[in-house]
Chains A and B, each alone.
Chain A
Amino acid sequence: MFDEYILEMRNISKEFPGVKALSDVNFKVRRGEIHCLVGENGAGKSTLMKVLSGVWRYGTYTGDIVYEGKVRQFKGIADSEAAGIAIIYQELAFFPELSVYENIYFGHEIMNGGTIDWNETIVQSKEYLRKVRLDIDPSIKIKHLNTGKQQLVEIAKALSKNCKLLIFDEPTSSLNEDDSKNLLDLMRELKERGITCIMISHKLREVTAIADTITVLRDGSTICSLDAKEDDISEANIIRNMVGRTIDDVYPKRLQKNISDIVFEVKNLSAEDRNTGKKILKNVSFNVRRGEIVGLQGLMGAGRTECALAVFGNPYDYKITSGEIWMDGKRVSFKTPKQAIKNGLAYVTEDRKGNGLVLIQDVRYNITLANLDELIPGLAIDENKEIEVAEKYRKEINIKTPTIAQKVKNLSGGNQQKVQISKWLFSHPKVLILDEPTRGIDVGAKYEIYSIMNDLVKQGMSIIMISSELPEVLGMSDRLYVMSEGQITGELPIEEATEEKVMKMAINA
């Protein structure tokens, strides 16, 4: 007779210097179910999974891990893997220059005598790729696959290690809608085959669609475990448990809208990547009015970020081949981001750690970096004025930091995002482009960022919001454009926009 539960984590507590990350967490996973773990950033989800996988080894936490009926004491990832537990991380760790099969068997090579049996490796790899429904040649280099396929390879790797419990950490955060759907289908298939899945996710729609059980963590404690069949697993109920209060509306409403003339307009813009010669934009036209939030929706790879960067002084060698850009009724063209900034354009990047912030510098430094000129009366920076500016934004945007002398790398994702937004507000833009402004930040901080957006347009700013999250675009925009394969495939006033219409435009070019 099987145990009903494959995994029971009992009274797990884990402390970091000064912080209690987990306190008496209980977490039970049934054999063969899909169990979703949700909670705000910092609620303790990742820490709990690190305890489970042995990253925080036995002895650094208190409580018991009962896995397959036995109390386990994992001393490292190798131990938990040997027991059949595997984690698919949010940021995939690969050897880009190696082939798919080399990646799958890296670290547990199939040996024949003293050497690697490559033929057997390839045969086995094909088998596992088939299991994850990935129809590719295993000998191509992994760097040639897109993120969605790379993730499937990662899952194939986990299966090849004979895992019984598969943990997904934000698996769809960097996938487009298609790949996300595909992944969720695959998870259901794995479940059929008796593999238990734990999924950490911020995307409640996916959670409610797939979960058999949902466990909510808040501030390092288990709040509740909801059974999909018996309990209320509406998004509203989950959010209420996550934040401990009801958010009546995820998207704050603007009471009066004050939308006037066109401020910024792109006409028939075409662009190509100078290095590869690939056409990235074809005849793109859009505009934004004063006091308006315009959504730019599309699937991953539709060319939205490329479009923003090409307009914003094409810093990565996106060459504009034809088309016009108009700002305030004047034709402009930006050769560098510097010129774009001077003309009132600002771009909050989707990758705040990669190209948004200088993480090793402090809050003050980052806030003023894009507009130092305003702080330089003569030759030197007026540091008193700089501090005043930084303090002003810390208060207005509600950046949670001990002081503005804190290094940005020590802040949470939501607060880093607020620093990034502050930086661009201080450059006094007329048009603010926000690229995935709420990616990877928790519900509370999301709401704050939406409120900031509403305040800004009320003051007469124009916002272009690029987002992969359809509900967010529909909730916040006044009007939206849909992009697909480098083209604008549709424009909708918000009253006419429905998820179905937008998805249709995003898929058909």
Chain B
Amino acid sequence: MKRVQFGHSPVPYLFVAPQIIIIAIFFLWPAAQAVHQSFLLEDAFGMSSQFVWFRNFEDVLSSPSWLKSAGFTVVFSTLVAVLSIAISLFLAVRADEVIRGAKVYKTLLMWGYAVAPPVAGLLGIMLFNPLMGDLYILFNKMGLDFNHIQNGNDATFVVVLIAVWKQVSVNFIFFLSGLQGIPKSVTEAATLDCKSPERRFWTITFPLLAPTTFFLMVINLTYAFFETFGIIDVSTKGAPGGATATLVYKVYVDGFLGADMGGSSAQSVLLMIMVSVLTVFQFRFIERKVHY
């Protein structure tokens, strides 16, 4: 907070009012609604509902399809986060070294931020279209027996590939700015002491980028949880048999297409808890980074 501030007056309330009103209507109310509904069981016609304590949660947590989806979400998020971070770190280190054409490379590697996830999903799934998709045809020519429409692992491969493609640019931007924040004197001293660029990377650069990497890990996990909705909805739609349905996608399918309000709300509440933990974790970490 500031040392010098304006004193008591109604003015600050006027300034926060727009944000607080919007939050109250479109955030607090729905969130409360979700918690409330997660304790209710509606009858088949949606005419009446009954308070059932934690039954919806028990149902969700013991349902095989939710557990399957939770398992997929963990695998998917980890793969997406690790792969996209690794690829973009690799590219950022090289882009930081080149002198000729540096600007062009940077632009070519960062515009992907502006592509909407469903657009990425559509581009990707077209390349895997069994009729004409180049990658689908290529993989099968290589004798891989690739079929993402029936095989869950192949479908996972497709959504991971698309999600990684979409995320590389964001990570690249952060790594590049992290690399540019390393003092020139440090890099120059390291060059004098150690000729091998690989060793220099692992002993100097990577430890210095550790805070950035850790921070990106959290960002990427959040991305894989939520923002990949568009990718999945346009590419696999959770097929085959829910093998590529993330938890967020399942909330949508059960709540809107399946009209199971109680179950869907209970899923929402569980997700809220998970995200809260993730965010609090992120904030604690950032606080530490500031002091460091």
Q: Please say whether chains A and B are actual partners in one complex.
A: no
* B-binding residues in A (CB < 8 A): none
